[in-house]
């Protein structure tokens, strides 16, 4: 059994991670650390875990007692954690924040559809961002084929859980309900990691990713819609996607227009394409808390630890 610890156990991603790991056949959870909830039962924060476990949040992080550590705290806090804690030799680390997505400090960028073999041999993995996952999965086959144009346009809509558990002026129910809004146009923090991945497959891509993120009036899911110029016909494009994802454990080429309800509560991504004249539209859908965060983190753990990639992640979409 893999002995697992979690830092930052009170947020949405930690709650989803616990839901998966409590049912993972090869995992034993040793501690779930939370400064603000220390010694309280997990279910007092993650109420869906009532009846699943009697475990309490820990006020300590005994790193020497575990094999795998998940860092689920906010951005910037992972770096601070390692300034205060020595890392035991051999400990495998999966960071869900953005601190090491540039592959600094020996971290490997953890998008399995891009670099599965590197993840298998990694000790430290930086989990991708949620928007970054959805957008890259739209574009990787085109980059692999070297057919990305100089300019790529993206509009993507995310559920409110993507903003974290603490409410703010633009995340609380009264604002999000029956409302849509744009935020961080052209400047979203996930753009650099997307561009790095695309350029690793197509060095000639100049990095002109025009991204308009939007807040949705729903809780979970991301729909990313990409459009660009493409000289290939629709059958050629479909063949690119079918070939690229034929061995992927959770990403599938979908022959119709995908929708969010098909993937919410799962670690899946569905990708569909449509050709209109010289313009190509690619659409992807994921659950932002699973394939966009905690599910992908467990997928990376499975790869790092030599387990079948889908272990503990055969989840059914809630659909209706």
In a domain, 318, yes or no: no
Q: What pLDDT, on a 0 to 100 scale, did the predictor assign at position 164?
A: 82
Phi, psi of 201 (to 5 degrees): -95, -35
CA distances from 74 to 9, 12, 61, 301, 308 (A): 11, 11, 17, 20, 29
CA distances from 4 to 62, 63, 220, 305 (A): 11, 9, 26, 12
Q: Tens-of-pLDDT digits for all 320 residues of the chain?
A: 999 999 999 999 999 999 999 999 999 999 999 989 999 999 999 999 999 999 999 999 999 999 999 999 988 899 999 999 999 999 999 999 999 999 999 999 999 999 999 999 999 999 999 999 999 999 999 999 999 999 999 999 999 998 888 778 888 888 989 999 999 999 999 999 999 999 999 999 999 999 999 999 999 999 999 999 999 999 999 999 999 999 999 999 999 999 999 999 999 999 999 999 999 999 999 999 999 999 999 999 999 999 999 999 999 998 77
Q: Are residues 80 and 200 in the same domain?
A: no
Q: What pLDDT, on a 0 to 100 scale, did the predictor assign at position 256?
A: 93
Q: Are residues 122 and 169 in the same domain?
A: no
Q: Are residues 119 and 140 in the same domain?
A: no
Q: Are residues 41 and 73 in the same domain?
A: yes
Q: Are residues 280 and 297 in the same domain?
A: no
CATH of the domain at 168: 3.30.360.10
Q: Are residues 98 and 146 in the same domain?
A: no
Q: What pLDDT, on a 0 to 100 scale, did the predictor assign at position 113?
A: 98
- 72, 130, 230, 269: the catalytic one is 130
Could you tell me if 65 and 3 are in contact, meaning their C-beta atoms sit under 8 angstroms apart?
yes
Q: Are residues 120 and 36 in the same domain?
A: yes
**Structure token pair of residue 88:** 């035991």
Question: Any catalytic annotation for residue 130?
Answer: yes
Q: Are residues 89 and 50 in the same domain?
A: yes
Q: Are residues 80 and 111 in the same domain?
A: yes
pTM: 0.96
Q: Are residues 151 and 47 in the same domain?
A: no
Could you tell me if 224 and 216 are in contact, meaning their C-beta atoms sit under 8 angstroms apart?
no
Domain span at residue 253 reads 130-286
Structural domain count of the chain: 2
Q: What pLDDT, on a 0 to 100 scale, did the predictor assign at position 320?
A: 76
Q: Are residues 23 and 160 in the same domain?
A: no
Q: What pLDDT, on a 0 to 100 scale, did the predictor assign at position 126?
A: 98
In a domain, 317, yes or no: no
Q: What pLDDT, on a 0 to 100 scale, did the predictor assign at position 173?
A: 82
């Amino acid at each position: 059994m893999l002995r697992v610890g979690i830092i930052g156990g009170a947020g949405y991603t930690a709650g989803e991670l616990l839901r998966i790991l409590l049912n993972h056949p090869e995992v034993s959870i040793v501690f779930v650390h939370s400064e603000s909830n220390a010694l309280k039962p997990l279910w007092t924060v993650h109420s869906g875990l009532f009846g699943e476990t009697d475990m309490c949040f820990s006020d300590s992080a005994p790193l020497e007692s575990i094999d795998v550590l998940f860092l689920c705290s906010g951005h910037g806090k992972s770096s601070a954690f390692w300034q205060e804690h020595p890392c035991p030799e051999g400990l495998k680390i999966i960071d869900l924040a953005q601190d090491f997505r540039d592959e600094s400090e020996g971290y490997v960028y953890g998008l399995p559809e891009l670099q599965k073999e590197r993840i298998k041999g990694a000790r430290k993995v930086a989990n991708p961002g949620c928007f970054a996952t959805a957008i890259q999965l739209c574009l990787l086959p085109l980059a692999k084929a070297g057919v990305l144009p100089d300019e790529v346009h993206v509009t993507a809509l995310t559920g409110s859980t993507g903003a974290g558990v603490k409410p703010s002026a633009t995340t609380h129910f009264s604002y999000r309900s029956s409302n849509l809004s744009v935020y961080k146009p052209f400047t979203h923090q996930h753009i650099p990691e997307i561009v790095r991945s695309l350029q690793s497959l197509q060095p000639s891509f100049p990095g002109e990713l025009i991204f308009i993120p939007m807040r949705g009036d729903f809780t979970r899911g991301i729909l990313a819609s990409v459009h660009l110029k493409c000289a290939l016909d629709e059958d050629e494009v479909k063949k690119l996607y079918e070939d690229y994802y034929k061995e992927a454990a959770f990403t599938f080429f979908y022959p119709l227009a995908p929708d969010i309800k098909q993937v919410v509560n799962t670690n899946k991504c569905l990708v569909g394409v449509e050709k209109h004249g010289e313009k190509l539209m690619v659409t992807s859908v994921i659950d932002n808390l699973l394939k966009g965060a905690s599910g992908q983190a467990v997928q990376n753990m499975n790869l790092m630890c030599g387990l079948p990639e889908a272990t503990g992640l055969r989840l059914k979409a809630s659909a209706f």
